[in-house]
Amino acid sequence: MGQENFKEMRKAMVVSQLRTTEVSDPRVIAAMSHIAREDFVPATHRSFAYADRGVQIGEGRSLNPPLTTGRLLNVAHVTNDEKVLLIGAATGYTAAVLAQLTNSVTAIEQNAKLATIAKKNLTDFSAIKVETGNHAAGWAQSAPYSVIVIDGVVEQIPQTLIDQLAPDGRIVAAIMDEGVSRLALGRKAGNHVGYQYFADCGACPLPGFEKVKSFSF
């Protein structure tokens, strides 16, 4: 498939998926219009790069649908001077989008193979540091962060990540709530974060945040 077709697909994604679903931040729209999502998916799946669903990237993982990424970043309101922690670097797509919004992105990936791919894909992005580590542990070495972006649906958000947020910091994620993936914006006050759900939206599972199963007799 030619590059010109991908440009048209990217434009269609912006028009039909982002602009029609309350993604209104012009900086987010510009960033997602600029970054070639097809460069971050395996060659065998490039034709699905802009589909309104997750795209398989190997290792049992998928990139979030573009709409999910757009809606999370839309409410995050990332500014140029803010430090951002991205949980779930995957192949680097969301990190590349974030690098259009801020000058400091730390992206964590717990799958070593995907982390290697992300580092390769992001070689030319000086604002991004890709680190290999447990998703739920975050990256305390560079904390505090103004914004934490969790790039996938999770069952819970641990206090470990909340502790790495700066005072009044924000965290955005898809949280599984009674079987429904709900997008949430959290704001830190003291040592806690209060979450506000703002949309039910499909998201791809991100490992490392599973609740411990309780046993009943």
Question: Which one, of 168, 217, 177, lies nearest residue 200 by Cα?
Answer: 177
The pLDDT score that the predictor gives to residue 215 is 54
Q: How far apart are the first and last CA of the chain?
A: 57
Report pLDDT digits (tens) over 149-183.
999 999 999 999 999 999 999 999 999 999 999 99
Q: How far is CA 141 from CA 58, 85, 108, 193, in A?
A: 29, 11, 12, 21
Give the SS3 label for residue 157.
coil
> Phi/psi zone of residue 75: left (φ > 0), alpha (ψ -120 to 50 degrees), beta?
alpha
The pLDDT of residue 4 is: 58
Q: Is the pLDDT of residue 214 over 90?
A: no
Q: Which whole number is the average pLDDT over 79-95? A: 98
Domain borders along the chain are: 3-200
Task: Give the pLDDT confidence of 38-69 residue by residue, as tens digits.
Answer: 999 999 999 999 999 999 999 999 999 999 99
Computed over every residue of the chain, the mean pLDDT equals 94
Check residue 3 and give its pLDDT. Answer: 55
Of the candidates 173, 171, 174, the one whose C-alpha atom is nearest the C-alpha of residue 144 is 171
pLDDT at 7 over 50: yes
Spell out the CATH class of 3-200. Answer: alpha beta
Which pLDDT tens digit goes with each residue over 96-150? 999 999 999 999 999 999 999 999 999 999 999 999 999 999 999 999 999 999 9
Which residue type sits at 15? V
CA atoms within 13 A on the CB side of 43: 1
